[in-house]
A and B are shown apart, each in its own frame.
Chain A
Amino acid sequence: MPIIRTHDLRKVFKALDRTPGVAGTLKTLFSRTYVERVAVEGISMSLEAGELVGYIGPNGAGKSTTIKMLTGILVPSSGEIVVAGLVPYRERKRNARNIGVVFGQRSQLYWDLPLIESFELLRAIYHVPYDRYRQNLAAFSKLLDLDSFMKTPVRQLSLGQRMRGDFAAAMLHDPKIVYLDEPTIGLDVVAKDAIRTFIAEVNRERGTTFILTTHDLADVERLCRRIVLIDHGRIVYDGEIETLKEQYGTHRTLIVEFSEDCPDVAVDGAEIESREGPTVRYRFDRRAISADQLIRRVADAYAINDVTLEEPELESIIKRIYLEGYARPNDATQASAAAR
Chain B
Amino acid sequence: MVAFAPGRFIEPYVEFARKAFSREATYRFEVLTSIGSLVLRVYLLRSVWTALYAQNAAPADIPLHSMITYATVALLMSLILEVDGTRSIRDKIREGTIATDLMKPIDLPLYFFSEGFGQTMFHALTILPSLLLALLLVHIDVPSLATLAVFGSSFVLGYFVNFFLNFLMNSVAFWTLETFAIQLMVRWASDFLGGQILPLSFFPGALGWIVERLPFAAIYSTPLRIYIGELPQSAWPGALAAQALWLAIFAGLSVVVWRAASRRVVVQGG
Binding site for B on A (CB under 8 A): 13-14, 65, 68, 71-75, 89, 92-94, 96-97, 99, 101, 103, 106, 108, 110, 112-113, 117, 120-121, 124-127, 153
Contacts and interface: CB of A to CB of B under 8 A. Distances in A.
B97 A112 contact: no
B97 A113 contact: no
Contacts of B95: 106
Contacts of B106: 93, 96, 125
Nearest to A93: B105
5 contacts: A71-B103, A73-B266, A74-B269, A110-B19, A120-B15
Interface string B83-118: 000000000000111011011111100000000000
Given A112-B23, A124-B12, A127-B11, A13 B103 contact: no
Contact of B103 (A65, A99, A110, A124): A99
Contacts of A113: 19, 22-23, 26
Nearest to B96: A106
A106 B12 contact: no
Contact of B265 (A14, A73, A94): A73
A84 to B, nearest CB: 13
A75 B26 CA distance: 39
Contacts of B96: 106
Interface size class of B (residues with CB under 8 A): 20 to 34
A14 B267 CA distance: 10
A101 B8 contact: no
Nearest to A120: B15
A52 B12 CA distance: 31
B216 to A, nearest CB: 31
Contact of A124 (B15, B97, B100): B15
A73 B11 contact: no
A178 to B, nearest CB: 11
B16 to A, nearest CB: 7
Contacts of A89: 266
Contact of A75 (B11, B97, B267, B270): B267
B268 interface: yes
B235 to A, nearest CB: 45
Contacts of A127: 8, 11
Interface of B: 8, 11-12, 14-16, 19, 22-23, 26, 95-97, 99-100, 102-107, 265-270
Contact of A121 (B16, B105, B266): B16
Nearest to A99: B103
A-B complex: 5 closest residue pairs judged by Cβ atoms: A96-B105, A124-B15, A73-B102, A93-B105, A125-B12
A14 B100 CA distance: 23
Nearest to B98: A73
A120 B11 CA distance: 11
Q: Which of A89, A94, A103 has the most CB of B within 10 A?
A: A103
Given A73-B99, A108-B100, A126 B105 contact: yes
Nearest to A15: B268
Given A74-B266, A75-B267, A108-B100, A117 B22 contact: yes
A227 B166 CA distance: 47
Nearest to B23: A112
A73 B97 CA distance: 12
B103 A101 contact: yes
Q: Which of B14, B100, B265, B269 has the most CB of A within 10 A?
A: B269
A101 B100 contact: yes
B89 to A, nearest CB: 16
Given A96-B103, A125-B105, A73 B270 contact: yes
Contact of A97 (B100, B105, B265): B105
A149 B8 CA distance: 30
Given A106-B95, A112-B23, 14 more contacts: A68-B99, A73-B266, A73-B269, A74-B266, A93-B105, A93-B107, A101-B100, A103-B100, A106-B97, A108-B100, A117-B19, A121-B16, A124-B14, A127-B11
A108 B102 CA distance: 11
A125 B103 contact: no
A97 B16 CA distance: 18
A226 B100 CA distance: 27
A13 B264 CA distance: 12
A76 to B, nearest CB: 10
B106 to A, nearest CB: 6
A112 B24 CA distance: 9
A36 to B, nearest CB: 13
Contacts of A13: 268-269
B104 to A, nearest CB: 5
Nearest to B8: A127
A92 B265 CA distance: 13
Nearest to A123: B15
A13 B268 CA distance: 7
Contact of B269 (A65, A106, A117): A65
A229 B267 CA distance: 25
Contacts of A120: 15
A73 B15 CA distance: 24
A101 B95 CA distance: 17
A211 to B, nearest CB: 14
Nearest to B27: A112
A125 B95 CA distance: 22
A73 B103 CA distance: 7
